[in-house]
């Protein structure tokens, strides 16, 4: 198959590219950074250097592909003038135009857990908007991948552990569903190879753990076996994020997203459509990486 993927060689893109090339597919990787070309080619793929902001470039790059993998890259959450929802909608419309103009009939899109919600999900509303835009395409088979909370988001707690000796946030009393990018890449590769008609939602997860279970695993790995996960009020988290320099509207989106995890609303559809088998990479595996970074930082 000829497969085009967005996301450059990020947490998901790199293992996805390696997997697809090893399976014998002809892979084109879109990246906005010219310096990534040699790394992409080293994996056996073709580099297409350009921006997702350019719908014409996307259409040209998608043309001839049997399938494409789309994702909206992370944005600058600390830019006070950045319109996050406009960014999500703009790239989604670019993808839709490119898919339609190129004639691609198979799409696998990286969405998120909680994308089924149209309110009370904070920053996840961007994923909901993208899914809605892509679903307007006709005669295109689309799998919306909905991964759960990424392990690597836990790096954001490292400074707090060092400064206060605890993990403090506004969720985590009940089980939180976590995922490794490696397991996501494996699932995306599988979907790209699988024929489909219409629309499909696929959840990807690797481990299901409470906050204190996470704290115990990470604490043991970093030599702090008594590490605790403390749940703080929404207002406290909001003020902390703003004090760290995050614009109020983005900080509020984070707090609302976390609050929907605390209430369980974000996970409701996941448990109704839970994967039969969880991913291979467990938090105990990620904890080794976390510990190495924690000790170096």
- Average pLDDT score over residue span 235-257: 96
- Average pLDDT score over residue span 77-99: 95
Task: Give the Cα separation of 12 and 219 in Å (integer).
Answer: 26
- A 10 A CB-CB count for 76 gives 11
Q: Determine contact, residues 83/19, Cβ cutoff 8 Å.
A: no
- Average pLDDT score over residue span 241-269: 96
Task: Give me the pLDDT at residue 4, please.
Answer: 98
User: Does the pLDDT at position 270 exceed 80?
Assistant: yes
- Average pLDDT score over residue span 45-49: 98
- Average pLDDT score over residue span 167-177: 97
Task: Give me the pLDDT at residue 297, please.
Answer: 73
Task: Give me the pLDDT at residue 245, please.
Answer: 94
Give me the sheet containing 176-179, strands edge to edge. 149-150, 176-179, 207-209
Distance between start and end Cα atoms, the chain:
42
Among 264, 261, 290, smallest CA distance to 169 is for 261
- Average pLDDT score over residue span 231-240: 98
Task: Give me the pLDDT at residue 238, please.
Answer: 98
The CATH class for the domain spanning 2-148+180-203 reads alpha beta
pLDDT band at 162 (very low <50, low <70, confident <90, very high): very high
pLDDT band at 240 (very low <50, low <70, confident <90, very high): very high
Look at phi and psi of residue 223 and say left if phi exceeds 0, alpha if psi is from -120 to 50, else beta: left
At 133-155, the pLDDT tens digits run 999 999 999 999 999 999 999 99
User: Does the pLDDT at position 72 exceed 80?
Assistant: yes
pTM (global) more than 0.85: yes
Can you give the C-alpha Rg of the chain in angstroms? 19
Task: Give me the pLDDT at residue 29, please.
Answer: 98
Task: Tell me the two tokens of residue 144.
Answer: 């919306």
User: Does the pLDDT at position 8 exceed 90?
Assistant: yes
DSSP annotation of 72 reads P
Task: Give the Cα separation of 19 and 21 in Å (integer).
Answer: 6
Q: Where are the domains of the chain?
A: 2-148+180-203, 208-296
If you search the block for the tokens 């997702």, which residue do you land on? Answer: 52
Task: Give the Cα separation of 256 and 234 in Å (integer).
Answer: 8
Mean pLDDT (the chain) is: 97
Among 253, 258, 178, smallest CA distance to 218 is for 178
Distance of CA 154 to the CA centre of its chain: 14
pLDDT band at 76 (very low <50, low <70, confident <90, very high): confident
């Amino acid at each position: 198959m000829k497969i085009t993927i967005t996301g450059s060689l990020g947490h998901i893109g790199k293992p996805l590219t390696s997997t697809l090339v090893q399976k014998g597919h002809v892979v084109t990787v879109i990246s906005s950074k010219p310096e990534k070309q040699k790394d992409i080619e080293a994996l056996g793929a073709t580099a297409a250097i350009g921006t997702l902001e350019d719908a014409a470039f996307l259409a040209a790059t998608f043309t001839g592909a049997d399938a494409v993998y789309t994702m909206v890259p992370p944005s600058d959450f600390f830019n006070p003038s950045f319109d996050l929802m406009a960014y999500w909608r703009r790239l989604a419309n670019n993808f839709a135009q490119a898919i339609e103009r190129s004639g691609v009939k198979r799409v696998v899109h990286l969405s998120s857990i909680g994308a089924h919600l149209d309110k009370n999900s904070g920053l996840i509303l961007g994923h909901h908007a993208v899914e809605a835009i892509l679903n307007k395409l006709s005669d295109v088979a689309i799998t919306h991948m909905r991964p759960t909370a990424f392990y690597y988001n836990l790096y954001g707690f490292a400074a707090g552990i060092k400064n206060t000796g605890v993990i403090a946030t506004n969720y985590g009393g009940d089980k939180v569903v976590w995922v490794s990018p490696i397991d996501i890449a494996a699932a995306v590769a599988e979907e790209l190879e699988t024929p489909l008609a219409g629309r499909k939602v696929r959840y990807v997860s690797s481990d299901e753990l409470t906050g204190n279970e996470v704290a115990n695993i990470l604490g043991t790995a970093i030599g702090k076996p008594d590490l605790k996960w403390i749940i703080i009020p929404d207002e406290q988290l909001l003020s902390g994020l703003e004090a760290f320099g995050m614009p109020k509207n983005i900080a509020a989106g984070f707090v609302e997203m976390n609050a929907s995890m605390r209430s369980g609303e974000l996970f409701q559809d996941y448990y109704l459509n839970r994967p039969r088998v969880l991913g291979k990479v467990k938090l105990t595996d990620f904890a080794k990486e976390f510990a190495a970074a924690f000790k170096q930082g």
